[in-house]
Amino acid sequence: MRGNAEVHALIAPGSLSAVLELLAAEPGKWTPIAGGTELMVAFSAGRLNAPKLVSLWGIPDLSYIQTHQQSIVVGGATTFLDLRKNAAIATELPLLAKAASWIGSVANQTRATLGGNLVNGSPAADSSPALLAYDAEIEMTSVRGSRRIPYSEFHTGYKRNSLASDELLFAIHIPRRFARHKQYLRKVGTRRAMAIAKVALAGTALLENGVIREIRLGAASLAPFPVRLKEAEAALLGQTVTSETVLAARRSLSAEVKPIDDIRSTAEYRRSVAANLLEEFLLDLPREGSQP
């Protein structure tokens, strides 16, 4: 089965306001398309269920990286190439820069967008664990106005999210307060390039004299959508890193994740490796009495 271009409408209004007007006029009827790295795959295979598409490519209001005093704001249709080239992202948000380098190949990074990665909502999304660990917020916009929610609340089910039918993912807000945090990100896949994650884990932790004062863990491919590992976080908060706390955190993680068997891996492998990744992160944290 091959896609037939003639059965799909595609328009490029060229401005954010024109796109929002269109979404408001016919809620749910228009499918936004940015770089097409997901939707065009479905199109080529003849399984794109989107009669009417509206292009977000090249709209300046959706493609930018702004550094504010408290946060770095990334427009929804900013490409992973733009993220990789940005100095503030590279120095302050190294986990996001690393995740951006994992997105497919060069030719995918020039077109794939951060907002597209999140709206697509793959459980294995490369950018998600880092954004969860960085406590990012999602700004959604429509003709009715804008609203912000924690990214950890954006996904609501497998390939489901909080966007209303007239809303666009407008921007991703990432707080600039992780300079003193220990940061970790590792993806386990079949091949270094181009492979979808069997499991990925990101972490940020702030320690005072060996005690974990703040910790966030974001995971991919361990649930129907990318998730914070709140039980494992709770097991670690206020603790020092000892063999006992590592074991307790491993147990909490194993209990809260919901991995599946699929073509890429097995639930048991994913659960074990996720716990190993967490342990790797924890064992690299500064111990009591050591310099942070």
Query: Hey, what are 271's tokens?
Result: 């659960």
Q: How far is the CB of 183 from other proteins (least distance, A)?
A: 22
47 binds other proteins (CB under 8 A): no
Q: How far is the CB of 225 from other proteins (least distance, A)?
A: 22
Spell out the long-range contacts of 12-19 with Cβ–Cβ below 8 A and sequence spacing 24 or more. 12/54, 12/55, 12/57, 12/58, 13/54, 13/55, 14/58, 14/59, 15/59, 15/61, 16/59, 16/61, 16/62, 16/141, 16/168, 19/54, 19/56, 19/59, 19/168
Q: Return the residues of window 188-247 that contact other proteins according to CB under 8 A.
A: 192-194
As a whole number of angstroms, the distance between CA 33 and CA 111 comes to: 11
Q: How many residues bind other proteins (CB under 8 A)?
A: 35
Q: Residue 259, exposed/middle/buried by CB under 10 A (0-12, 13-18, 19+)?
A: buried
Out of 1, 7, 179, 263, the only residue in the binding site for other proteins (CB under 8 A) is 7
Using CB under 8 A, which of the segments 1-9, 203-211, 230-238, 260-268 binds other proteins? 1-9
Q: How many whole angstroms from its chain centre is CA 244? A: 31
Query: Hey, what are 214's tokens?
Result: 């703040």
User: Would you give the binding string for other proteins spanning residues 88-127, x where CB under 8 A is met?
Assistant: ----------------xxxxx-xx----------------
Out of 25, 26, 45, 268, the only residue in the binding site for other proteins (CB under 8 A) is 45
As a whole number of angstroms, the distance between CA 272 and CA 17 comes to: 47
Out of 16, 19, 23, 55, the only residue in the binding site for other proteins (CB under 8 A) is 55
User: Would you give the binding string for other proteins spanning residues 144-183, x where CB under 8 A is met?
Assistant: ----------------------------------------
As a whole number of angstroms, the distance between CA 163 and CA 123 comes to: 17
As a whole number of angstroms, the distance between CA 124 and CA 104 comes to: 13
Q: Helix or strand or coil: residue 122?
A: coil
Using CB under 8 A, which of the segments 54-62, 91-99, 168-176, 276-284 binds other proteins? 54-62
Using CB under 8 A, which of the segments 51-59, 214-222, 242-250, 281-289 binds other proteins? 51-59
Q: Which is nearer to other proteins, 39 or 74 (CB)?
A: 39
287 C-beta neighbours (distance < 10 Å), count: 12
58 binds other proteins (CB under 8 A): yes
123 contacts 223 by C-beta, under 8 angstroms? yes
Given the rule CB under 8 A, which residues bind other proteins?
3, 5-12, 33, 35-37, 40-41, 43-45, 51-53, 55, 57-58, 81, 104-108, 110-111, 192-194
